[in-house]
């Protein structure tokens, strides 16, 4: 699943440990421990950007979600 692969990549890049996750139909629950104060936010920002690119390409649209 693309979302989980990109989440793993972002977690490794920003040094965030993912302990648990739940993928819901319209949102995600995560239990994480960042290595610094900005890690979790930066990870989620990167993840969001990646998902918007995928969604826009898949559904032939532009802009924010």
pLDDT tens-place string over residues 15-29: 999 999 999 999 999
Low-confidence ranges of the chain (pLDDT < 70): none
Say what the pLDDT of residue 65 is. 85
Say what the pLDDT of residue 48 is. 92
Q: Average pLDDT over the chain, rounded to whole?
A: 95
Say what the pLDDT of residue 1 is. 81
Say what the pLDDT of residue 24 is. 96
| Axis-axis angle for helices 2-13, 39-58 (nearest 10) | 150
User: Token pair of 21, please?
Assistant: 């996750």
Angstrom distance (rounded) from CA 37 to CA 60:
36
Say what the pLDDT of residue 46 is. 96
Structural domain spans, the chain: 2-58
SS (H, E, C) 19-61: EEEEECCCCEEEEEEECCCCHHHHHHHHHHHHHHHHHHHHCCC
């Amino acid at each position: 699943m693309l979302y989980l692969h990109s989440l793993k990549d972002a977690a490794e890049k920003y040094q965030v440990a993912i302990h648990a996750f739940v993928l819901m139909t319209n949102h995600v629950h995560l239990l994480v421990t960042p290595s610094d104060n900005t890690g979790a936010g930066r990870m989620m920002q990167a993840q969001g950007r990646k998902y918007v690119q995928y969604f826009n390409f898949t559904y032939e649209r532009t802009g924010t979600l």
